[in-house]
Amino acid sequence: MSMYFNTEWGYLEAITRGFKNGMLKHSDYLNLVQCESLEDVMISIQGTDYGNIFTGDNQPSVDVIEVSLRDRLLQQYNYIRGHATEPLTTFLEYIRYPHMIDNVTLLIAGLNNRRSMKRLMKMCHPLGFFDSLAAIEVASNSAELFDMVLIDTPIAKFVAPELISQNLLSNDVEVVRATLYRYYLEHFYAYCMSLGGTTATVMADLLAFDADRRSITIAVNALQSDMRPDERMRMFPSCGHLPRVALHGMATAPDTERIREICNAFDPYGKMFDNIERDVDGMITLEDRFLMVEAKKNVQSYMQQFHFGVFYSFIRLKQLECRNIVWISECISQRQTERINAFIPIPLDW
């Protein structure tokens, strides 16, 4: 298997490991948090492996920084994708699907709120663009929305029967997003299992963690809503480490304490809530705690060879890096430097 892997994808794995080695180190973050202006941030970034990603015509702004970082990630992804062969090609497409889902739900929310579609299109993640995405602008009802955007697109396979029977334009967009994500994760998990080998082992752990994170986060957020237990269950992915009895318990939980009790039976999820209590400044959220664990898991996936998980982990780590840089830039722009260190550390120096 290792010789076959190297013959087909060894070059791309080596390139991706090189991309990962070019990510920001702890010293780079120290330089960024000491910047006093966005101009300083842009100069500091250009001193890393990002290089000269900013054009001279752009005025320093958080939007310019974020768009430039996303474009660089897109370039790296397209290079890998352009040299890939099956089944890696399909695997790489699965990495894009979450961004497609985010873009679609962003535009659905904009359509509901009668916001400018042109402006929203600029906010869409470039990894999630597909040919018919802009068609949502002319959709006026649920039937048109499914015909133009969902049914005949790459994410059509993740549209659940219950979504088809509902009015998308009047439904909570977060419910739509969560339902699409559930079926995406279950499809991706099944595909990785079909690949077998180290890819199946590594991706099973990464995707199961992601599924559990989504279930726990949805359960906590749903406490403030009038959503029924069966509606919550329909949004919980079934491919996580948490058994169905735990998911059912969270769906019927009346408060955060009950969710914590359920999670305490499945280490390390219970510790997520304990860490929140010790965060007296209230700057580290439950989602942040999950991102910290996810970062460690994605770095650890590089400790094994001959598997597709390195491509998935690189994209996830790079997205987190972009998030960190944007967070630091926002803090500098809004002069809230007391919050600047609340980014998610990526343990690359191991």
In a domain, 6, yes or no: yes
Q: What is the pLDDT of residue 142?
A: 53
Q: Is the pLDDT of residue 84 over 90?
A: yes
Q: What is the pLDDT of residue 110?
A: 81
User: Could you give the number of structural domains in the chain?
Assistant: 1
In a domain, 124, yes or no: no
Query: Which is more confidently placed, 321 or 349?
Result: 321
Q: Which residues of 117-134 are buried (b: 16+ CB within 10 A; e: fewer)?
A: eeebbeebbbbbebeebb
Instruction: Please state, in angstroms and rounded to a whole number, the distance separating the CA atoms of residues 25 and 208.
Output: 28
Give every CB contact of residue 254 below 8 A, 6+ residues apart in sequence. Answer: 223
Q: What is the pLDDT of residue 232?
A: 94
Query: Confidence class of residue 313 from pLDDT cuts 50, 70 and 90?
Result: very high
Query: Which is more confidently placed, 117 or 145?
Result: 117
- Range in 83-97, 108-122, 301-315, 317-331 with the lowest mean pLDDT: 108-122
In a domain, 324, yes or no: yes
Q: Is the pLDDT of residue 350 over 80?
A: no
Is the bond preceding residue 87 a cis peptide, omega within 30 degrees? Answer: yes
Q: What is the pLDDT of residue 238?
A: 96
Give the tens place of pLDDT for each residue, 27-71.
Answer: 999 999 999 999 999 999 999 999 999 877 678 999 999 999 999
In a domain, 64, yes or no: yes
For the chain, what is the mean pLDDT? 89
In a domain, 51, yes or no: yes
Q: What is the pLDDT of residue 146?
A: 61
- Range in 67-76, 160-169, 210-219 with the lowest mean pLDDT: 160-169
In a domain, 178, yes or no: no
Q: What is the pLDDT of residue 167?
A: 55
Give the tens place of pLDDT for each residue, 166-209.
Answer: 555 556 888 889 999 999 999 999 999 999 999 999 999 999 99
Instruction: Please state, in angstroms and rounded to a whole number, the distance separating the CA atoms of residues 97 and 155.
Output: 7
Instruction: Please state, in angstroms and rounded to a whole number, the distance separating the CA atoms of residues 88 and 7.
Output: 13
Q: What is the pLDDT of residue 166?
A: 58
| Cβ atoms of 112 and 187 closer than 8 Å | no
CATH number at residue 25: 1.10.132.50
Quick one: what percent of the chain has pLDDT higher than 70?
A: 89
Instruction: Please state, in angstroms and rounded to a whole number, the distance separating the CA atoms of residues 311 and 309.
Output: 5
**What's the rounded mean pLDDT across residues 263-289?**
78
* Full domain range(s) for residue 31: 1-85+309-349
In a domain, 206, yes or no: no
Q: What is the pLDDT of residue 55?
A: 77
Query: Confidence class of residue 1 from pLDDT cuts 50, 70 and 90?
Result: low
**What's the rounded mean pLDDT across residues 252-280?**
83
- Range in 101-105, 136-140, 165-169, 314-318 with the lowest mean pLDDT: 165-169
The dihedral through the CA atoms of 207, 211, 212, 218 has a sign that is: positive
Give every CB contact of residue 312 below 8 A, 6+ residues apart in sequence. Answer: 91, 95, 203, 206, 298, 301
Q: Is the pLDDT of residue 140 over 60?
A: yes
In a domain, 273, yes or no: no
pTM of the model: 0.94
Closest to 79 in 3D by CA, of 10, 16, 7 = 16
